[in-house]
Structures are given as C-alpha cells and as structure tokens.
Structure 1
Amino acid sequence: MQNFDLTPERTSDTAFELVKKRLGHSFARRELLELALTHSSWANEYACGQEHNERQEFLGDAVLELCVSWELYKRFPTAREGELTKMRSNLVSAVSLAERARDLGLDVFLKLGRGEENQGGRKRDAVLSDALEAVLAAVYEDGGFVAAQKAVARIFAEQWPDRAGDGKASKDYKTRLQEASQQRFGQAPLYTRLASHGPEHSKVFEVSLRLPDGSQFVASGSSCKKAEQQAARDALKTLGHTE
C-alpha cells in the first residue's frame, strides 16, 4: 500500500482528493466527508466534544440498503423478492463493505484514536464497513439520492451479480477469499501493487496477494481491482474453493 503522511492536516487534504476521485463525487460541503472519516475514538482523544461519524453511519446504513435494492431491482426485473434479498445480503455484508472501503482507501484515511489504532481498528471489518456507510451518508447529504446512487453503482461496479441467485458466484472473489481466509487463518489476505506498464490507454497492473500461511499469488489485469480479483480467484482454487 502507498505510504501517506497521516498527520491530521495532511490526511484531510489527501483523503478529500483521493476519496472524491474514487467515489466519483465532488463534495460541495467538504466538511461532510471530513466528518465521515472521523471515528469516535479520534474525537474522544484529540478533540473532546467534536462530532464523529456515528450518526452518519445510521443514515448511511439506510442509504446503502435503498441504493443497492434499487440497483438490483433494475438489474433483475424478473427476480423474486427472496432472490433480491439474498443478493443484497451478500453485497452489504460487513466483509463485502470492508473490502469496498479498502478499495476507496478508507483504511488509510480514517482518523482513529490511539487505543483503537493499537487494537488493529484500521484492519477491522466492522470499523471499515461503518466508515463506508458514513461516507455514503455524506454523499447523500451533499448531493441527494441521485449522487448516492451513482456512488454506490460505482463502488460495487465489479461486484454486481451476473444473474439472480444466492450462491457463492454472487460474491466477488476478493470477498469470498476474505471470508475463507478469516475462517481458516483468523486473518485477512494482504494485497500489494507490484508494478504497472504499458501506455496510459492500455496499462497492465500487477499485484501480489499473500495469505496468512505465506502462500503468495501474482496476477495482472487492466486495473488494480481486476488484478486483485484474479489473484483472489487463484488463491481460492488453492484453498479448494470451486467457482
């Protein structure tokens, strides 16, 4: 992962620009995103009495469920209620949301207190999934439902199921590997970007995936996300998980 200066002032500027770019939303009210990236532990330790993102988590949970429901409703006009519910559950699970949060870089930019940081809060799925909900609430507050819907569609661009159903195929490979790794090893896999080459319009990205047992997988793709998905797919096969 790229190293960033994590002083509060620098975090704020860098987070604002990168998260904005990855979300595809330009905030008119920057303070909403800053609040979404402020964990209660940071507010309690560094700024007594300052607001934090827990209220936004409450709103973001509802925004996320509505946006995902609407997207699935449009994509699968013949799917039954039970099928839609199961697909939504896969997409909005804590593991899935934590992966989407990492894609946005929230694990780097979230402001945590020292206690939470020392306890590994930056890697905890619950903390990251809550942060993603807070960020989506910020988008909703700033731009309304249309902006939130566009952000959700973008965040889950490579995770939407190809068909109605509730099997493992409905989950992307990274999410499935995250679950399998946590179950088997008690830890998450680690992804590292190795290199990129080729012209700007057709770059190829290479990433490395390392499992907690030391197994390593290298894959390439037209984007970091696609390369990570391929590496996760390869790792799942090694762990004995079928398609």
Structure 2
Amino acid sequence: MIDRIGHPFRNPELLQQALRHRSAGAPHNERLEFLGDAMLNLVVAEALYARWPKADEGALTRARAALVRESALAELARRLELGPRLELGPGEMKSGGERRDSILADALEAVIAAIYLDAGFEACRATVLPWFDVELERLPAGKVEKDPKTRLQEWLQGRQLPRPEYILLETRGDDHARIFLVSCRTSEPSLEEQAEGSSLRAAEQAAAERILARLEAR
C-alpha cells in the first residue's frame, strides 16, 4: 500500500501489524500506536514551531491539540483509506469497527510508527507532514481557539460563577472500544448536558461544547 500513505515499505510486515487491531490477535498495533502518538506529536510540534515564529506556548499547544485530536486523525485515516484495510476480529467487523473514530485514529498513529521503524525519522516526517498540509493552512496563525472545557470555565469565571461539574455516568464496551457517557452541569445558570466519547476527555469536551452553545444562545 504505497499510493495513499506515500511510503514504500521495505518491511511490509510493519504495515501489516500497524493495521491489525487487537481484536484480530497478536501481533497487533497497540505498541506501534504508543510510539506513533509520540512521533506524530513531535512532527506536528516541529512544523508549528517553524511556521509560527511569534506564537506563544499556549497557541502552539492548542494548534497541536487541534491537529492531533481523535476526530481529526480519524478523518485523515479515512482520506488515506485505512478503514477497508484494517484487520479486525469478528466482533469488531460486525459492529463496524472500521468506521469507528478511535480505531481509525489508533491505526493512523500505528502506521506513523511503522514508517519510522521502517525508514527513520526523516522519512517519517517527509511522509506524514504532507498529510496535514490542508489542516495546517487552515489554522489561523497563533490564534487557535481554546478547547470547549477551557472556554466554558473561562466564561463562568469571567462572570464570577462556580466552575462546571463533570460526572461520568456510564462506561460501556470492550476494553479496546470503550464509550464514555458524561454529564456536564453548571449551577449558575442551572444547565446540564450529556455527551458520549471514545475517551473520558472527548466526552467531557463534547458536553462542555453543548453547554457553551446554550449559554451563547441566550
């Protein structure tokens, strides 16, 4: 698979492992995912540092978070057509695992690690950075919006109101495909919204976004 990814693997077994979900058995892609997450953060951080010479740490951190968040990586994995190539166990295949954001994002990170192990950092950076060209160009230099939880807290603090409360209501699914249901509550004004996510943080952010939308609509 060279066309979409853009890297000719000298060791195809690395790519095969990167696309094998743990539900399909060992060797699967979880260790590669761990390494790929670190490589991706380095590549993106380096690119932002070079592009935005006057941006402060906060702006750089928010920009990196926007680029490497799960939903963004999953969309990129779809553009690279990784979903149909994933090796999944029967249960994940039946539940549509090849379309799930968490599985796609993890596979993308694993592929990044596979490229790094196959050819080194320079080749990894040269392959991965072009994947983010469109997203990098769309980012307003030094002015990336803060995440919903931060914005909600600042909205409340700016009006001297209590901080929001986040409550984990439910966790379901297998260990490798957890879904979290979270409630976000504010006491003044009294509002509550619930949201799901493939991580606790993602669910909290989604719930905070819904509270913000209600506050800003008032």
TM-score under structure 1 normalisation? 0.58
Instruction: Tell me the equivalent position of 1:26.
Output: 8
Alignment partner for residue 109 of structure 2, among 122, 130, 133?
Answer: 133
Q: Which 4+ runs in 1 deviate beyond 6 A?
A: none
In 2, distance between residues paired with 1:89 and 1:63?
14
**Which consecutive residues of structure 1, in runs of 5 or more, have no partner in the other structure?**
1-15, 44-49, 169-185, 187-243
* Percent of matched pairs sharing the same residue: 48
Alignment partner for residue 154 of structure 1, among 112, 130, 137?
Answer: 130
Residues 1:163 and 2:141 are matched in the alignment = yes
Deviation at 1:165, TM superposition (A): 1.5
User: CA offsets, 1:72-98, max 9 Å, x none?
Assistant: 111111111100000000000000000
In 2, distance between residues paired with 1:31 and 1:81?
39
In 2, distance between residues paired with 1:165 and 1:106?
31
Deviation at 1:151, TM superposition (A): 1.9
In 2, distance between residues paired with 1:32 and 1:131?
12
| 8 Å CA contact retained: 1:39, 1:112 | yes
| 8 Å CA contact retained: 1:121, 1:127 | yes
More off after superposition, 116-125 vs 129-138: 116-125
| 8 Å CA contact retained: 1:23, 1:154 | no
Alignment partner for residue 109 of structure 1, among 79, 82, 85?
Answer: 85
Equivalent residue pairs, number:
148
**Which consecutive residues of structure 2, in runs of 5 or more, have no partner in the other structure?**
147-195, 197-218
In 2, distance between residues paired with 1:88 and 1:40?
28
Residues 1:74 and 2:50 are matched in the alignment = yes
In 2, distance between residues paired with 1:28 and 1:103?
23
Deviation at 1:53, TM superposition (A): 0.6
Root-mean-square deviation (CA, aligned residues, Å) is 2.0
Instruction: Tell me the equivalent position of 1:40.
Output: 22
| 8 Å CA contact retained: 1:24, 1:154 | no
In 2, distance between residues paired with 1:74 and 1:22?
26
User: CA offsets, 1:163-199, max 9 Å, x none?
Assistant: 221139xxxxxxxxxxxxxxxxx9xxxxxxxxxxxxx
Rg larger for: 2
In 1, distance between residues paired with 2:4 and 2:45?
22
